[in-house]
């Protein structure tokens, strides 16, 4: 079995697909080594194991909307695209979504996957509570406000099998999105903070081939006062960038049919916040991905440092996206306690070439203390990754308390979080 892009082959030869909670608990209790995988939107071995795999895809659906508490409880294997439509029909919304709705709730939460927005935190920050199956097959519940909650949410799957997640919701809202082409680099570098504030969610795309930001995507909530920025964004020109006359894909040569509607046409939150439609192949399909998260204050210096690699990046990158994420308190979140800028690379599916360039990318970013996205490709030394997380020791203690035999601690978790290992054991597509 491979991941969704077809470039990582899982090692496990046994895959469990329980159809009920009792069956799941029995599988967990009797299996010595177990790892859950979600929508398979990972590019390394974070969800792999030398033991056995477990999928939640066939578990009964859960959709527990509490209108008074403004929460929604769903089964952990649900995808955001599956829950967004019925939530919208009920008159409610999530604060944010990732760029594609195809990812599972539990997988996105466990890796602190994010959308974009300078005032919006990672998707994991919307969790108000969760229920998991412990190594003995028992149920444990974590709720916001508990002492260990901030350590348990972004868990890399190391604490148990999450079966239900309760998310904070709010009244439904509409969003408009615009795309602008060819923002001059000088304007991008001078006005990054100003432009990032023009929308509820803002993304900068570059293919490294021109001295411009290839595309600027701005998503604005219809229900919020944007202090006059609506008129500026709705104009045909913005700081030298030109409004797109037709809908576009972030990768210019690909069809925009896979993307959510643009050109300022308002639509429901779940039909605009993601870049891609649920019923289409997201992104390029055949690709590799890496992402590094730095302090938002270092966004432009980090980007400028990477420009020294422009020629090599242009040959290997399908597109690079820069987004902002607000700081959160979750121990293993790459946005832990710092407002963040994420630099995401969608690579051509050429692992030897990507593997060769990653150390050079990371060397240029090292002065900015990058934290790699847990589910994507990176070459950083395990000790360096662990050093980026001030609460790594606390998380290790939490794992030891909840899973003393290491049933859910696979090679990835041991390598990068709970213990150091050799440089030869790095996330690698197979």
CATH of the domain at 199: 3.30.70.2520
At residue 284 the predicted structure's pLDDT band, cuts being 50, 70 and 90, is low
Taking residues 298-322, what's their average pLDDT? 97
Do 305 and 364 touch, CB atoms closer than 8 A? yes
Domain that holds residue 339: 174-379
**pLDDT of the residue at 14:** 85
Most confident of 39-43, 286-290, 296-300: 296-300
| 28-53 average pLDDT score | 85
For the stretch 68-72, contacts whose Cβ atoms lie closer than 8 Å and that sit 24 or more positions apart, written own/partner, are: 70/168, 70/169, 70/170, 71/128, 71/129, 71/166, 71/167, 71/168, 71/169, 72/166, 72/167, 72/169
**Residue 34 domain-assigned?**
no
As a whole number of angstroms, the distance between CA 35 and CA 37 comes to 7
Please state the rounded mean pLDDT for residues 246-261: 94
Q: What is the pLDDT of residues 365-419, one digit of tens each?
A: 999 999 999 999 999 999 999 999 999 999 999 999 999 999 999 999 999 999 7
Is the model's pLDDT at 18 over the cut of 80?
yes
Domain assignment present for residue 240? The answer is: yes
> How many Å apart are CA 126 and CA 108, to the nearest integer?
11
**What's the whole-number mean pLDDT along residues 192-209?**
96
Domain assignment present for 262: yes
Indicate the range of 34-43, 226-235, 266-275, 331-340 predicted with least confidence.
226-235
Burial 271-293 (b: 16+ CB within 10 A, else e): bbbbbbbbeeebbbeebbbbbbb
| Chain mean position to CA 377 | 13
Judged against a pLDDT cut of 50, whether residue 247 lies above it is answered with yes
Q: Check whether 5 has a pLDDT greater than 60.
A: no
Asked whether residue 293 is domain-assigned, the answer is yes
For the chain, the average pLDDT equals 91
Of the pLDDT bands very low, low, confident and very high (cuts 50, 70, 90), residue 182 is very high
Which backbone phi and psi does 101 adopt, to 5 degrees?
-85, 5
Q: Given a cut of 80, is residue 116 above it in pLDDT? A: yes
In this prediction, residue 98 has a pLDDT band, given cuts at 50, 70 and 90, of: very high
pLDDT band at 234 (very low <50, low <70, confident <90, very high): confident
- Mean predicted confidence (pLDDT) in 227-249: 82
- Higher-confidence residue of 148 and 226: namely 148
Domain assignment present for 392: no
Averaged over 106-125, what is the pLDDT?
Answer: 95
Residue 302 lies in a domain: yes
pLDDT at 48: 84
Would residue 66 count as lying in a domain?
no
Quote the pLDDT of residue 278. Answer: 85
Radius of gyration of the chain (CA): 21
Please give the average per-residue pLDDT across 202-230, as a whole number: 86
Is residue 388 in a domain? no
342 has pLDDT over 60: yes
* Position 40 confidence tier, pLDDT thresholds 50, 70, 90: low
Q: Which pLDDT does position 41 carry in this prediction?
A: 67
pLDDT at 245 over 50: yes
The average pLDDT across 21-35 equals: 95
Q: What is the mean pLDDT of residues 172-187?
A: 97
- Give me the mean pLDDT over the 57-79 stretch: 95
pLDDT of 7 higher than 80: no
Q: Which long-range contacts (CB under 8 A, 24 or more apart) does 388-396 make?
A: 388/334, 389/331, 389/332, 389/336, 389/417, 390/336, 390/337, 391/151, 391/331, 391/332, 391/336, 392/331, 392/332, 392/417, 394/151, 394/331, 395/151, 395/331, 395/332
pLDDT at 263 (0 to 100): 93
Q: Is 426 a residue whose pLDDT tops 50?
A: no
Q: Give the pLDDT score at 235.
A: 75
pLDDT at 236: 77
Domain total in the chain: 1
Q: Could you tell me the pTM of the whole model?
A: 0.92
């Amino acid at each position: 079995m491979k991941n969704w892009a077809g470039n990582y082959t899982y090692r496990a030869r046994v895959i469990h697909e329980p159809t009920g909670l009792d069956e799941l608990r029995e599988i967990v209790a009797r299996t010595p080594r177990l790892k859950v995988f979600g929508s398979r939107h990972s590019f390394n071995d974070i969800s792999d194991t030398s033991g056995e795999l477990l999928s939640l895809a066939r578990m009964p659906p859960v959709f527990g909307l509490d209108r008074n508490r403004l929460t929604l409880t769903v089964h952990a294997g649900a995808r955001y695209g599956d829950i967004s439509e019925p939530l919208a029909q009920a008159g409610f919304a999530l604060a944010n979504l990732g760029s594609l709705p195809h990812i599972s709730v539990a997988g996105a939460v466990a890796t602190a996957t994010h959308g974009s927005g300078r005032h919006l935190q990672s998707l994991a920050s919307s969790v108000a509570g969760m229920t998991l199956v412990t190594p003995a097959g028992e149920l444990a519940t974590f709720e916001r406000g508990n002492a260990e909650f901030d350590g348990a949410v972004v868990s890399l799957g190391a604490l148990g099998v999450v079966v239900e997640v309760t998310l904070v919701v709010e009244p439904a809202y509409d969003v408009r999105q615009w795309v602008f082409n060819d923002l001059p680099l000088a304007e991008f570098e001078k006005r990054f903070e100003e432009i990032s504030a023009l929308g509820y969610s803002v993304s900068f795309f570059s293919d490294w081939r021109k001295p411009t930001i290839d595309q600027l995507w701005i998503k604005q909530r219809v229900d919020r006062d944007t202090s006059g920025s609506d008129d500026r964004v709705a104009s045909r020109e913005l700081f030298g960038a030109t409004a797109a006359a037709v809908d576009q894909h972030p990768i210019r040569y690909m069809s925009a049919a896979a993307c959510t509607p643009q050109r300022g046409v308002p639509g429901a939150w779940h039909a605009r916040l993601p870049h891609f439609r649920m019923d289409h192949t997201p992104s390029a399909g055949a690709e590799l991905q890496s992402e590094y998260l730095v302090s938002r204050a270092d966004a432009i210096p980090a980007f400028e440092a990477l420009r020294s690699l422009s020629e090599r990046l242009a040959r290997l990158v399908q597109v690079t996206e820069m987004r902002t994420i607000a700081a959160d308190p979750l121990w293993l979140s790459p946005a832990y306690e710092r407002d963040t800028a994420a630099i995401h690379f969608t690579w051509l599916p050429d692992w030897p070439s990507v593997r060769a360039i990653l150390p050079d990318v990371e060397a240029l970013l090292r002065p900015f203390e990058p934290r790699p996205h847990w589910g994507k490709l990176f070459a950083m030394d395990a000790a360096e990754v662990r050093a980026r997380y001030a609460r790594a020791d606390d998380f290790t203690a939490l794992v030891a308390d909840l899973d003393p035999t290491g049933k859910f601690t696979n090679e990835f978790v041991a390598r990068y979080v709970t213990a150091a290992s050799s440089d030869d054991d790095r996330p690698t597509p197979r």
